[in-house]
Amino acid sequence: MAAIELSAVSKSFGPVKVIDEVSLRVESGELVVFLGPSGSGKSTLLRMIAGLETIDSGSLLIDGNPSEQLPPGQRGVAMVFQNYALYPHMTVRENMAFGLRNIGLDASTIDTRVQKAATTLEMTELLARRPSQLSGGQRQRVAIGRAIVKEPKAFLFDEPLSNLDAALRVRTRVELAELHQRMQATMIYVTHDQTEAMTLADRIVVLNDRRIEQIGTPMEVYLRPQSRFVAGFVGSPGMNFMHAEVDTASNTVARLGNGSELPLSLKVPSSGAYELGIRPEGVRVTSSNDDATSAQAKAGVVERLGERTLVYCTLDDGTELIAQDTGRSEIAPGDRINIGFDTTAVHLFDQAGQAYHVN
Protein backbone atom coordinates (compact mmCIF):
# COMPACT_ATOMS: atom_id res chain seq x y z
CA MET A 1 0.00 0.00 0.00
CA ALA A 2 1.02 3.60 -0.52
CA ALA A 3 1.14 6.93 1.27
CA ILE A 4 -0.74 9.86 -0.26
CA GLU A 5 0.48 13.42 0.16
CA LEU A 6 -1.25 16.65 -0.82
CA SER A 7 0.69 19.91 -0.77
CA ALA A 8 -1.18 23.23 -1.00
CA VAL A 9 -3.75 21.91 -3.47
CA SER A 10 -6.48 24.26 -4.66
CA LYS A 11 -9.51 23.92 -6.89
CA SER A 12 -11.99 26.40 -8.33
CA PHE A 13 -15.12 26.06 -10.42
CA GLY A 14 -15.12 29.31 -12.35
CA PRO A 15 -14.89 32.17 -9.82
CA VAL A 16 -15.85 29.91 -6.90
CA LYS A 17 -12.96 28.40 -4.94
CA VAL A 18 -13.94 25.03 -3.45
CA ILE A 19 -10.56 23.84 -2.11
CA ASP A 20 -8.10 26.39 -0.74
CA GLU A 21 -4.45 25.30 -0.34
CA VAL A 22 -5.09 22.04 1.51
CA SER A 23 -2.04 20.08 2.70
CA LEU A 24 -2.33 16.57 4.11
CA ARG A 25 -0.42 13.29 4.35
CA VAL A 26 -2.16 9.91 4.58
CA GLU A 27 0.25 7.22 5.75
CA SER A 28 0.51 3.81 4.13
CA GLY A 29 -2.09 1.45 5.59
CA GLU A 30 -3.98 4.27 7.32
CA LEU A 31 -7.75 4.78 7.20
CA VAL A 32 -8.42 8.51 7.10
CA VAL A 33 -11.94 9.94 7.11
CA PHE A 34 -12.81 13.28 5.51
CA LEU A 35 -15.63 14.65 7.66
CA GLY A 36 -17.57 17.83 7.09
CA PRO A 37 -20.92 19.37 6.18
CA SER A 38 -22.29 19.55 2.66
CA GLY A 39 -20.28 22.02 0.60
CA SER A 40 -17.13 21.74 2.74
CA GLY A 41 -15.11 20.30 -0.17
CA LYS A 42 -14.59 16.74 1.09
CA SER A 43 -15.90 14.91 -1.98
CA THR A 44 -14.13 17.33 -4.34
CA LEU A 45 -10.86 16.68 -2.51
CA LEU A 46 -11.37 12.92 -2.87
CA ARG A 47 -12.12 13.28 -6.58
CA MET A 48 -8.95 15.33 -7.03
CA ILE A 49 -6.94 12.45 -5.57
CA ALA A 50 -8.75 10.01 -7.87
CA GLY A 51 -8.15 12.18 -10.93
CA LEU A 52 -11.84 12.82 -11.56
CA GLU A 53 -11.28 16.54 -10.90
CA THR A 54 -8.21 18.49 -11.98
CA ILE A 55 -5.90 20.12 -9.45
CA ASP A 56 -5.56 23.82 -10.27
CA SER A 57 -2.44 24.31 -8.15
CA GLY A 58 -0.36 22.35 -5.68
CA SER A 59 1.00 18.82 -5.86
CA LEU A 60 -0.16 15.25 -5.26
CA LEU A 61 2.17 12.37 -4.46
CA ILE A 62 0.92 8.77 -4.51
CA ASP A 63 3.50 6.28 -3.29
CA GLY A 64 6.08 9.04 -3.66
CA ASN A 65 5.31 9.62 -7.34
CA PRO A 66 4.01 12.97 -8.68
CA SER A 67 0.44 12.19 -9.77
CA GLU A 68 -1.47 15.45 -10.24
CA GLN A 69 -1.06 15.24 -14.04
CA LEU A 70 -1.70 11.49 -14.39
CA PRO A 71 -5.01 10.21 -15.81
CA PRO A 72 -7.20 8.32 -13.30
CA GLY A 73 -6.28 4.88 -14.64
CA GLN A 74 -2.57 5.43 -14.00
CA ARG A 75 -2.80 6.65 -10.39
CA GLY A 76 -3.15 3.21 -8.84
CA VAL A 77 -6.25 4.06 -6.81
CA ALA A 78 -9.73 2.52 -6.83
CA MET A 79 -12.89 4.45 -5.98
CA VAL A 80 -16.14 3.19 -4.44
CA PHE A 81 -19.08 5.51 -5.03
CA GLN A 82 -22.32 6.19 -3.18
CA ASN A 83 -24.13 4.76 -6.20
CA TYR A 84 -23.15 1.10 -6.67
CA ALA A 85 -23.17 1.47 -10.51
CA LEU A 86 -23.43 -2.29 -11.13
CA TYR A 87 -24.35 -3.71 -14.54
CA PRO A 88 -27.82 -5.24 -14.00
CA HIS A 89 -27.47 -7.87 -16.77
CA MET A 90 -24.16 -9.21 -15.39
CA THR A 91 -23.58 -11.60 -12.52
CA VAL A 92 -21.55 -10.57 -9.48
CA ARG A 93 -18.55 -12.41 -10.92
CA GLU A 94 -18.91 -10.63 -14.26
CA ASN A 95 -19.32 -7.21 -12.60
CA MET A 96 -16.14 -7.71 -10.60
CA ALA A 97 -14.21 -9.01 -13.60
CA PHE A 98 -15.39 -6.42 -16.14
CA GLY A 99 -12.71 -3.80 -15.50
CA LEU A 100 -9.93 -6.40 -15.54
CA ARG A 101 -11.07 -7.73 -18.91
CA ASN A 102 -11.02 -4.20 -20.31
CA ILE A 103 -7.32 -3.84 -19.50
CA GLY A 104 -6.54 -7.22 -21.09
CA LEU A 105 -5.66 -9.42 -18.12
CA ASP A 106 -5.69 -13.16 -18.85
CA ALA A 107 -8.66 -15.23 -17.70
CA SER A 108 -6.78 -17.19 -15.03
CA THR A 109 -5.48 -14.02 -13.34
CA ILE A 110 -8.95 -12.48 -13.43
CA ASP A 111 -10.52 -15.58 -11.91
CA THR A 112 -7.89 -15.71 -9.15
CA ARG A 113 -8.41 -12.06 -8.23
CA VAL A 114 -12.21 -12.30 -8.26
CA GLN A 115 -12.17 -15.44 -6.12
CA LYS A 116 -9.73 -13.87 -3.65
CA ALA A 117 -11.81 -10.69 -3.35
CA ALA A 118 -15.02 -12.69 -2.91
CA THR A 119 -13.39 -14.69 -0.12
CA THR A 120 -12.13 -11.53 1.57
CA LEU A 121 -15.64 -10.05 1.47
CA GLU A 122 -17.30 -13.36 2.44
CA MET A 123 -19.49 -13.37 -0.67
CA THR A 124 -18.35 -16.42 -2.65
CA GLU A 125 -21.92 -17.77 -2.58
CA LEU A 126 -23.14 -14.61 -4.37
CA LEU A 127 -20.89 -14.80 -7.45
CA ALA A 128 -23.57 -16.31 -9.70
CA ARG A 129 -26.31 -13.85 -8.72
CA ARG A 130 -27.33 -10.65 -10.48
CA PRO A 131 -27.67 -7.27 -8.73
CA SER A 132 -31.47 -7.53 -8.64
CA GLN A 133 -31.09 -10.61 -6.44
CA LEU A 134 -28.95 -8.80 -3.85
CA SER A 135 -29.69 -6.58 -0.86
CA GLY A 136 -28.30 -3.05 -0.68
CA GLY A 137 -25.46 -4.16 1.60
CA GLN A 138 -24.56 -7.02 -0.74
CA ARG A 139 -24.50 -4.67 -3.73
CA GLN A 140 -22.16 -2.36 -1.86
CA ARG A 141 -19.87 -5.32 -1.14
CA VAL A 142 -19.82 -6.10 -4.87
CA ALA A 143 -18.81 -2.49 -5.56
CA ILE A 144 -16.03 -2.82 -2.99
CA GLY A 145 -14.99 -6.16 -4.52
CA ARG A 146 -14.77 -4.51 -7.93
CA ALA A 147 -12.25 -2.09 -6.39
CA ILE A 148 -10.30 -4.83 -4.58
CA VAL A 149 -9.67 -6.89 -7.74
CA LYS A 150 -7.75 -3.95 -9.22
CA GLU A 151 -5.17 -4.42 -6.43
CA PRO A 152 -4.81 -0.63 -6.06
CA LYS A 153 -2.33 1.30 -3.96
CA ALA A 154 -5.21 3.00 -2.13
CA PHE A 155 -8.99 2.81 -1.82
CA LEU A 156 -11.20 5.92 -2.01
CA PHE A 157 -14.74 5.72 -0.58
CA ASP A 158 -17.24 8.49 -1.37
CA GLU A 159 -20.10 8.17 1.16
CA PRO A 160 -20.56 4.46 0.34
CA LEU A 161 -23.22 3.79 3.00
CA SER A 162 -25.56 6.72 2.31
CA ASN A 163 -28.09 4.62 0.39
CA LEU A 164 -28.48 1.96 3.10
CA ASP A 165 -31.08 1.87 5.88
CA ALA A 166 -29.98 2.42 9.47
CA ALA A 167 -29.53 -1.22 10.53
CA LEU A 168 -27.74 -2.15 7.32
CA ARG A 169 -25.43 0.85 7.65
CA VAL A 170 -24.28 -0.42 11.05
CA ARG A 171 -23.56 -3.91 9.73
CA THR A 172 -21.78 -2.66 6.62
CA ARG A 173 -19.75 -0.18 8.68
CA VAL A 174 -18.50 -3.04 10.85
CA GLU A 175 -17.67 -5.03 7.72
CA LEU A 176 -15.63 -2.12 6.35
CA ALA A 177 -13.71 -1.84 9.62
CA GLU A 178 -12.99 -5.58 9.55
CA LEU A 179 -11.93 -5.33 5.89
CA HIS A 180 -9.40 -2.62 6.73
CA GLN A 181 -8.02 -4.68 9.60
CA ARG A 182 -7.58 -7.71 7.32
CA MET A 183 -6.10 -5.86 4.34
CA GLN A 184 -4.16 -3.10 6.15
CA ALA A 185 -4.88 -1.04 3.07
CA THR A 186 -4.56 2.72 2.61
CA MET A 187 -8.11 4.07 2.64
CA ILE A 188 -9.67 7.52 2.43
CA TYR A 189 -13.34 7.65 3.35
CA VAL A 190 -15.67 10.62 2.84
CA THR A 191 -18.75 11.07 5.02
CA HIS A 192 -20.87 13.66 6.81
CA ASP A 193 -21.88 11.01 9.38
CA GLN A 194 -20.02 11.51 12.64
CA THR A 195 -20.64 7.95 13.85
CA GLU A 196 -18.99 6.53 10.73
CA ALA A 197 -16.03 8.86 11.22
CA MET A 198 -15.60 8.09 14.92
CA THR A 199 -15.86 4.31 14.53
CA LEU A 200 -13.88 3.80 11.32
CA ALA A 201 -11.05 6.34 11.30
CA ASP A 202 -7.45 6.08 12.38
CA ARG A 203 -7.50 9.86 11.90
CA ILE A 204 -10.27 12.31 11.06
CA VAL A 205 -9.78 15.32 8.78
CA VAL A 206 -12.50 17.86 9.60
CA LEU A 207 -13.20 20.14 6.63
CA ASN A 208 -15.12 23.39 6.64
CA ASP A 209 -15.44 26.16 4.09
CA ARG A 210 -12.76 24.81 1.69
CA ARG A 211 -10.11 24.29 4.38
CA ILE A 212 -9.00 21.80 7.01
CA GLU A 213 -10.19 22.78 10.49
CA GLN A 214 -8.50 19.95 12.40
CA ILE A 215 -6.69 16.64 11.91
CA GLY A 216 -6.53 14.11 14.73
CA THR A 217 -7.59 10.76 16.08
CA PRO A 218 -11.33 10.41 16.74
CA MET A 219 -10.92 11.03 20.47
CA GLU A 220 -8.55 13.97 19.94
CA VAL A 221 -11.13 15.64 17.73
CA TYR A 222 -13.93 14.85 20.18
CA LEU A 223 -12.18 15.75 23.44
CA ARG A 224 -9.94 18.62 22.29
CA PRO A 225 -11.61 20.40 19.35
CA GLN A 226 -9.38 23.17 18.02
CA SER A 227 -12.21 25.49 17.00
CA ARG A 228 -15.80 26.39 17.74
CA PHE A 229 -16.83 24.81 14.45
CA VAL A 230 -15.27 21.41 15.24
CA ALA A 231 -16.72 21.45 18.76
CA GLY A 232 -20.21 22.07 17.39
CA PHE A 233 -20.01 19.73 14.42
CA VAL A 234 -18.49 16.64 16.02
CA GLY A 235 -20.62 14.83 18.57
CA SER A 236 -24.21 13.63 18.72
CA PRO A 237 -26.00 15.28 20.37
CA GLY A 238 -24.00 18.43 19.89
CA MET A 239 -21.99 20.36 22.47
CA ASN A 240 -23.79 22.82 24.73
CA PHE A 241 -22.73 26.45 24.26
CA MET A 242 -23.30 29.26 26.76
CA HIS A 243 -22.19 32.85 27.11
CA ALA A 244 -19.65 33.29 29.90
CA GLU A 245 -17.74 36.18 31.42
CA VAL A 246 -14.21 35.04 32.24
CA ASP A 247 -12.11 36.56 35.01
CA THR A 248 -8.39 35.73 35.01
CA ALA A 249 -7.41 38.05 37.88
CA SER A 250 -6.62 35.07 40.09
CA ASN A 251 -7.66 31.64 38.99
CA THR A 252 -9.76 31.46 35.85
CA VAL A 253 -13.45 31.68 36.69
CA ALA A 254 -16.30 31.56 34.16
CA ARG A 255 -19.53 33.25 35.26
CA LEU A 256 -22.65 32.01 33.49
CA GLY A 257 -25.76 34.07 32.91
CA ASN A 258 -27.66 32.26 35.68
CA GLY A 259 -25.05 33.21 38.28
CA SER A 260 -23.10 29.95 38.38
CA GLU A 261 -19.34 30.37 38.75
CA LEU A 262 -17.15 27.64 37.31
CA PRO A 263 -13.49 27.55 38.43
CA LEU A 264 -11.46 26.31 35.45
CA SER A 265 -7.96 24.89 35.18
CA LEU A 266 -7.16 26.58 31.87
CA LYS A 267 -5.55 29.76 30.64
CA VAL A 268 -7.00 32.32 28.26
CA PRO A 269 -5.23 35.45 26.96
CA SER A 270 -7.42 37.93 28.84
CA SER A 271 -10.58 38.44 30.83
CA GLY A 272 -13.80 39.14 28.96
CA ALA A 273 -16.63 37.52 27.05
CA TYR A 274 -16.16 33.95 25.84
CA GLU A 275 -18.37 31.12 24.70
CA LEU A 276 -18.30 28.17 27.05
CA GLY A 277 -18.76 24.70 25.59
CA ILE A 278 -19.51 21.48 27.45
CA ARG A 279 -20.81 18.18 26.10
CA PRO A 280 -24.03 16.67 27.52
CA GLU A 281 -22.08 14.02 29.44
CA GLY A 282 -20.39 16.89 31.28
CA VAL A 283 -23.76 18.24 32.47
CA ARG A 284 -25.22 15.75 34.94
CA VAL A 285 -28.57 15.68 36.67
CA THR A 286 -27.84 15.77 40.41
CA SER A 287 -29.84 15.33 43.59
CA SER A 288 -28.86 18.68 45.13
CA ASN A 289 -28.01 22.25 44.24
CA ASP A 290 -25.53 23.01 46.99
CA ASP A 291 -22.60 24.77 45.28
CA ALA A 292 -21.83 27.37 42.64
CA THR A 293 -21.07 24.76 40.00
CA SER A 294 -24.68 23.54 40.18
CA ALA A 295 -27.82 25.14 38.83
CA GLN A 296 -31.54 24.67 38.62
CA ALA A 297 -33.32 24.11 35.32
CA LYS A 298 -36.69 23.17 33.88
CA ALA A 299 -36.87 19.91 31.94
CA GLY A 300 -38.32 19.97 28.47
CA VAL A 301 -38.00 17.04 26.06
CA VAL A 302 -36.73 13.83 27.68
CA GLU A 303 -35.05 11.27 25.42
CA ARG A 304 -34.74 7.77 26.89
CA LEU A 305 -31.97 5.92 25.08
CA GLY A 306 -31.70 2.84 27.27
CA GLU A 307 -28.24 3.20 28.78
CA ARG A 308 -28.69 6.95 29.39
CA THR A 309 -31.33 9.64 29.36
CA LEU A 310 -30.90 13.02 27.66
CA VAL A 311 -32.80 15.91 29.21
CA TYR A 312 -33.30 19.06 27.11
CA CYS A 313 -33.62 21.74 29.74
CA THR A 314 -33.65 25.50 30.25
CA LEU A 315 -31.75 27.44 32.94
CA ASP A 316 -33.46 30.26 34.81
CA ASP A 317 -31.80 32.85 32.54
CA GLY A 318 -33.25 31.18 29.43
CA THR A 319 -30.09 29.30 28.39
CA GLU A 320 -30.99 26.00 26.72
CA LEU A 321 -28.77 22.96 27.13
CA ILE A 322 -28.75 19.18 27.15
CA ALA A 323 -28.00 17.30 30.38
CA GLN A 324 -27.46 13.60 30.92
CA ASP A 325 -29.08 11.31 33.49
CA THR A 326 -29.07 7.56 34.08
CA GLY A 327 -30.99 5.17 31.88
CA ARG A 328 -33.53 4.65 34.67
CA SER A 329 -34.22 8.36 35.05
CA GLU A 330 -37.72 9.27 36.24
CA ILE A 331 -37.57 12.90 35.06
CA ALA A 332 -40.65 14.09 33.17
CA PRO A 333 -41.13 17.18 30.99
CA GLY A 334 -41.84 20.23 33.14
CA ASP A 335 -39.95 18.98 36.21
CA ARG A 336 -37.57 21.26 38.08
CA ILE A 337 -34.17 19.58 38.17
CA ASN A 338 -30.71 20.21 39.57
CA ILE A 339 -27.72 19.95 37.24
CA GLY A 340 -24.00 19.97 37.96
CA PHE A 341 -21.19 21.00 35.59
CA ASP A 342 -18.04 18.91 35.27
CA THR A 343 -15.46 21.69 35.21
CA THR A 344 -12.79 19.32 33.82
CA ALA A 345 -14.87 18.93 30.65
CA VAL A 346 -15.25 22.63 29.83
CA HIS A 347 -13.92 24.39 26.71
CA LEU A 348 -13.75 28.13 26.11
CA PHE A 349 -13.92 29.78 22.67
CA ASP A 350 -12.92 33.35 21.92
CA GLN A 351 -14.57 35.67 19.41
CA ALA A 352 -12.49 34.18 16.57
CA GLY A 353 -13.55 30.62 17.48
CA GLN A 354 -10.16 29.63 18.91
CA ALA A 355 -10.48 26.91 21.54
CA TYR A 356 -8.93 26.77 25.02
CA HIS A 357 -9.01 23.50 26.95
CA VAL A 358 -8.64 22.35 30.52
CA ASN A 359 -5.02 21.42 31.21
pTM, two decimals, is 0.89
Name the region of 251 (left: φ>0; alpha: ψ -120 to 50; beta: rest). Answer: beta
Tens place of pLDDT for every residue, the chain, 359 residues? Answer: 789 999 999 999 999 999 999 999 999 999 999 999 988 999 999 999 999 999 999 999 999 999 999 999 899 999 988 887 889 999 999 999 998 888 888 999 999 999 988 888 888 999 999 999 988 888 888 988 898 898 899 999 998 888 777 787 888 888 888 889 888 899 999 999 888 999 999 999 999 989 999 999 999 999 999 999 999 999 989 999 999 999 887 678 888 888 888 888 888 888 889 999 999 999 999 887 666 677 889 999 999 999 999 999 999 889 999 999 999 999 999 999 999 999 899 999 999 999 998 87
Q: Letter for the amino acid at 77?
A: V
C-alpha torsion sign, points 270, 271, 276, 281: positive
Residue 127 CA to its chain's centroid (Å): 32
Distance CA 193, CA 214 (A): 16
Give residue 292's pLDDT: 60
Give residue 91's pLDDT: 94
Helix (H) or strand (E) holding 275: strand 272-278
Distance CA 271, CA 264 (A): 13
240-357: CATH superfamily: Nucleic acid-binding proteins (2.40.50.140)
Is domain 4-224 in CATH 3.40.50.300, yes or no?
yes
Residue 22 CA to its chain's centroid (Å): 18
| 3-state DSSP percent of the chain in helix, strand and coil, to 5 | 30, 35, 35
> Hey, which residues does 278 pair with through a beta bridge?
240, 346
Task: Give the pairing of strands 240-247 and 272-278.
Answer: antiparallel
Domain locations in the chain?
Answer: 4-224, 240-357
User: Distance between terminal CA atoms of the chain?
Assistant: 38
For the beta sheet containing 154-158, the strands, ordered from the edge strand earlier in sequence to the opposite edge, are: 77-80, 154-158, 187-191, 31-35, 203-208, 211-216
